[in-house]
Structure 1
Amino acid sequence: MSIGIIGAGAIGAALAERLVAAGENVLISNSRGPDSLSALVSAAGPGLTAVTVKEAAQQDVVVLAVPWKRLKDAIAATGLTGWEGRIVIDTTNPLGPPDFKVANLGGRTSSEVVADLVPGAKLVKAFNTLPPHVLGANPRSGSGRRVIFLSGDDAGANDRITRLIERAGWAAVDLGPLATGGRLQQFPGGPLPTLSLLKEN
C-alpha cells in the first residue's frame, strides 16, 4: 500500500518520516513541486518519494496536511472531481495563518466540511491533536505507546487506518463517527487536542 501526502509542512513531513521509518511506502507532495522536497526525501531515506499533488492523490490512502486556508486550492490541484475508492485522512484544524481566526463551520465539525470537499472518499480524521515535534518522535517509550485519536463514518476505513497507526508504533483510539468523535478531536474546542497520552504496553 502506498500513502500519498498532500502538504509537506511540519505535520506532513513529521508524518511522512514516521511512516517511512515503519516501512510504509510514502509519496509526498506540495504546491512547489517535487524538486523542492529533495532535502526531506534525502533525510527520510528509502521509502519516501517526492511527487506532484496529482500523483499523491492517486493513492488508495491520501493524507491532507495543508493549512486550512489552502485546503480548497490543494484539493483543486489534485484534478479529481470524485474520490471514490480512496480513504482520505484529514489532519487539518479550522484555523491558521496569517490571522489564526477560527473558520465558521456552521455548527458542523471541520472534518464534515472537509468530507464535502472530497466527494466519494471515506474520510478519517487523525493526526491533528499532537504538535509536529511529538508526532514525529518515536511513538514508543519505556511505559507505553503514544495515542493517536481517529474518527470517521466508515467502519472499514477506520479499521484500516487503525491498523496503519498501530503498525507505525502508535496506539490507536477510535472515537467513532465524525459528528461525535470529530468534535472531541477538533482544535479549537474539543477536549483532546494537545493531550499527549501514552497507552501502557
Structure 2
Amino acid sequence: MSYAIVGFGSVGQALAHAFARKSIDVTVASRRPSEALAPQAWAIGPTVVAKSLRDALEADTIILAVPFWEHREVAKALPSWEGKTIIDATNTNAPVEDLDGQPSSAVVAKAFTGAGFVKVFNRLPAAVLAADPSVNGGSRVVFLSSDNENAVVPVAVLAEQLGFAPIALGPLKDGGSLVQARGNTWAELIFQDLVKFK
C-alpha cells in the first residue's frame, strides 16, 4: 500500500510527522514544486518524500490536507479515481447553503467519484495531530466516517499503524456531521481530544 499527502500546510506536515514517527513511507505534494517542499520533507524524516502532484497521485491512498475548496482542483488532476482511497482531512466553515445542506465530506466525496472515501484526521488541531498519539498509557482517538464500509477497514488499519485508536461512526450523513464544521457552528466531536485505554 502506498500513501500520499496532498497539501503541505500545518495539517499536511502534522500527518507527515505521524508517518515519519512510525517509519512509514509517504509522498507529499502541494501546489508548490517538489523541490520547494523537499528540504522541509527531509527535515521531518527520511520516509517523507516530496514529489510532484502528478506523481503523488499514483499512490493507492491519498490524504487530502488542502484548503477545503481546493479539493476540486485536486479532483480534476486524474480522469478516474477508481481503485483509489481518498482520506478527507479537510474542514470548512462555508455556509450550509453553499454545501446544499450536506456535510462537507459529502461534497468532497462527489468530486472523487469511484474512489473509496473516508473522513478522518480532520477534527484535531494540527499541533495535536503531529504529537505522539500515545498518551498516558492510551491512544489518541480518531473518528472515521464513510459510505463505503470496504474503504473504512484499511484506513482504520493505517490509523492504528500511526498509533491512533480509530472509531468508526458510520455513514457520512451521520458520522460526518459529528466531526466537522458546518456553517458557523462546530460539530459535537470536533476538537475533542479523546484517549482510548486498552
AA in 2 matched with 1:81: P
DSSP 3-state at the match of 1:195: coil
What 5-or-longer segments of structure 1 have no aligned partner? 96-100
> Match of 2:29, as an amino acid?
S
Contact 1:2 1:24 in 2 (8 A): no
Match of 2:164 in 1: 170
State the 1:20 CA deviation: 2.2
User: How far is 1:102 from its partner?
Assistant: 3.7
Write the distance in 2 (CA, Å) between the matches of 1:142 and 1:108: 37
Specify the alignment match of 2:66 in structure 1.
66
Residues 88-109 of structure 1 deviation map (CA, whole Å, 9 limit, x = unaligned): 00011123xxxxx546211111
5+ long unaligned stretches in structure 2: none
Alignment match of 2:129 (pick from 125, 130, 135): 135
CA RMSD of aligned residues (A): 1.3
- Please report how far the alpha carbon of residue 38 of structure 1 lies from its aligned counterpart in structure 2 after TM superposition: 2.1
Q: 2-side partners of 1:25 and 1:102: how far apart?
A: 37
Q: CA deviation at 1:187?
A: 1.5
* Corresponding position of 2:153: 159
Whole-Å separation in 1 of the counterparts to 2:135 and 2:180: 26
User: Share of identical aligned residues, percent?
Assistant: 37
Q: Matched residue of 2:145: which SS? A: strand
Length-normalised TM-score, structure 2: 0.93
In structure 1, what is the equivalent of residue 189 of structure 2? 192
Q: Which position in structure 2 is the counterpart of 1:54?
A: 54
* Total equivalences in the alignment: 194
- Secondary structure, in 3 states, of the residue corresponding to 2:154? helix
Q: Do the aligned partners of 2:42 and 2:49 also contact (CA within 8 Å) in 1? A: no
8 A Cα contact 1:87 1:123, kept in partner: yes
What is the distance in 1 between the residues matched to 2:167 and 2:74? Answer: 28
1:110 aligned residue: 104
SS of equivalent residue, structure 1 residue 58: coil
User: Of the candidates 111, 116, 121, which is equivalent to residue 122 of structure 1?
Assistant: 116
Partner residue, 1:98 = none
State TM-score, norm by structure 1.
0.92
SS across alignment from 1:172: strand
1:81 is matched with 79
1:103-127 Cα offsets, whole Å, 9 max, x none, are 6211111111111111111100000
- Take 2:6 and 2:18, find their aligned partners in 1: how far apart are those partners? 16
3-state SS of 1:152 partner: coil
Say if 2:34 is the partner of 1:40.
Answer: no
Runs of 4+ in 1 over 6 A off after TM superposition: none
CA–CA distance in structure 1, aligned partners of residues 53 and 75 of structure 2: 9
Corresponding residue for residue 17 of structure 1: 17
Q: Alpha-carbon deviations, 1:173-193, whole Å to 9, x = none?
A: 110111111111112442011
